């Protein structure tokens, strides 16, 4: 057995979101907020990009939060403590652009809350006042609440009102932006959520950083799978991001690209569940990057 990246703890955070604490001493030492890793469970497995939700240089571990949405992510979360992940490449991507003082609003939608956590941690360490607004479909989908409460004030929202405030995170964000001066907003979650946040902050001219989750393959800027349009320019989320100025992001294009891959992934998953899984061996969807798309799980940065 390969003990290179031993899983030291596993926690179920919500019905399809799992936390794995994994040995990766070098990454734990040097990672910064906003960075991610690319994980390969074993020989021949797909590469899955995952944000580093936390890390501890003293124990040499990093925290990965995985939304089980496809074959590969399901296989990853099936691993148990004492089992190992073969490859973890990183840290990758640019660290978060942090402010040094003032008040920051950190907005996390669903599993995106795990991506917001290291940003809030880093801001808190710099003495920035952190207000977090986090949301889930219902109570059981709310994650990282306790961790964020250690860093500042937290408002929890649920779509069905089963916990905290009834409604989307954007409802609470609108009130927070009206109630006090916010110097910067960090928003991570579903694309419609990030777009809605940007639409709130643009008229107020509040700087807004979003973390994008296009399909990633190599994580090195070579495959083109993660290309996004920002300020009218093509950028690669893996090497130019994953965080960008939300006011400059073309969210329509991002949605289109994610939808293309998601349809393909759903077909692959259905085929997988029906019979012997052949994910990675099918045809490339129209418009997708040849050679890369079939191997991709829509795992986003989570
Ligand atoms: P979800 O669909 O359950 O939504 C989570 C919360 O986001 C909701 O409770 C709500 O408060 C808010 N929200 C959703 N749609 C909204 C809208 N139209 N307007 C305003 N607010 C809205 O989220 P989930 O299932 O945990 O996450 C699913 C998506 O998030 C996936 O598509 C995944 O790829 C993406 N994601 C993105 C990142 C990233 O780095 N950007 C990271 C993780 C996940
Ligand atoms: Fe970014 Fe390939 S994952 S270019």
Ligand 1 atom 8 nearest Cα: 136
In the chain, % of residues over pLDDT 90: 74
Confidence of residue 249 (pLDDT cuts 50, 70, 90): very high
Note the pLDDT of residue 171: 97
Residues making up the chain, counted from first to last: 302
> Chain-wide mean pLDDT for the chain?
87
Mean pLDDT of 20-36: 96
Mean pLDDT of 44-54: 91
- Kindly state if the Cβ of 118 falls inside 6 Å of ligand 1: no
- Between 272 and 76, the higher pLDDT residue: 76
- Kindly state if the Cβ of 73 falls inside 6 Å of ligand 1: no
Residue pLDDT, tens place only, 201-213: 999 999 999 999 8
Residue pLDDT, tens place only, 89-127: 999 999 999 988 799 999 999 999 999 999 999 999 999
Note the pLDDT of residue 59: 96
Residue pLDDT, tens place only, 169-193: 999 999 999 999 999 999 999 999 9
pTM exceeds cut of 0.75? yes
- Kindly state if the Cβ of 111 falls inside 6 Å of ligand 1: yes
Checking if the pLDDT of 272 tops 60, the result is: no
CA of 265 to the centre of ligand 1 (A): 18
Give the lowest-confidence range in 57-61, 112-116, 195-199, 266-270: 266-270
- Between 252 and 262, the higher pLDDT residue: 252
Note the pLDDT of residue 291: 29
DSSP string, the chain: ---TEEEEEEEEEETTEEEEEEE-HHHHHH--TT-EEEEE-STTPPEEEEEEEEEETTTTEEEEEEE--SHHHHHHHT--TT-EESEEEEEESPPP---SSSEEEEEEEGGGHHHHHHHHHHHHHTT-EEEEEEEESSGGG--SHHHHHTTEEEEEEETTSSSSEES-HHHHHHHHHHHS--SEEEEES-HHHHHHHHHHHTTTT-EEEEE-----SSSSSSS-TTEEEETTEEEEHHHH-SEEEGGGB-HHHHHHHHHHHHHHHHHHHHHHHHSS--TTSSPPPTTSPTTTGGG----TT-
Other Cβ atoms less than 10 A from the Cβ of 109: the count is 26
CA of 112 to the centre of ligand 1 (A): 7
């Amino acid at each position: 057995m390969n003990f290179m990246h031993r899983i030291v703890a596993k926690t179920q955070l919500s019905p399809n979101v799992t936390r794995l604490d994994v040995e990766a001493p070098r990454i734990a030492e040097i990672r910064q907020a906003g960075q991610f890793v690319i994980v390969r469970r074993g020989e021949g497995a797909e590469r899955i990009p995952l944000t580093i939700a936390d890390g501890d240089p003293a124990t040499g571990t990093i925290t990965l939060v995985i939304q089980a949405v496809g074959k590969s992510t399901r296989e990853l979360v099936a691993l148990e403590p004492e089992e190992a992940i073969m490859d973890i490449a990183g840290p990758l991507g640019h660290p978060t652009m942090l402010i040094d003082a003032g008040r920051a609003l950190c907005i996390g939608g669903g599993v995106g809350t795990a991506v917001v956590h290291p940003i809030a941690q880093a801001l808190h360490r710099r003495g920035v006042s952190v207000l977090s607004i986090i949301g889930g479909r219902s109570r059981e989908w709310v994650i990282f609440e306790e961790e964020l409460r250690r860093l500042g004030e937290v408002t929890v929202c649920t779509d069905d009102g089963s916990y905290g405030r009834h409604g989307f995170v954007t409802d609470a964000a609108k009130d927070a932006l009206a109630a006090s001066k916010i110097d910067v907003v960090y928003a991570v979650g579903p694309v419609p959520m990030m777009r809605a946040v940007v639409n709130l902050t643009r008229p107020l001219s509040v700087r807004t950083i979003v973390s994008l989750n296009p399909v990633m393959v190599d994580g090195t800027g070579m495959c083109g799978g993660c290309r996004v349009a920002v300020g009218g320019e093509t950028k690669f989320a893996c090497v130019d991001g994953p965080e960008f100025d939300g006011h400059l992001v073309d969210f329509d294009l991002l949605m289109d690209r994610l939808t293309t891959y998601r349809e393909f992934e759903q077909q692959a998953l259905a085929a997988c569940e029906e019979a012997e899984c052949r994910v990675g061996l099918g045809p490339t969807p129209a418009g997708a990057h040849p050679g890369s798309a079939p191997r991709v799980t829509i795992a986003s940065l989570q």
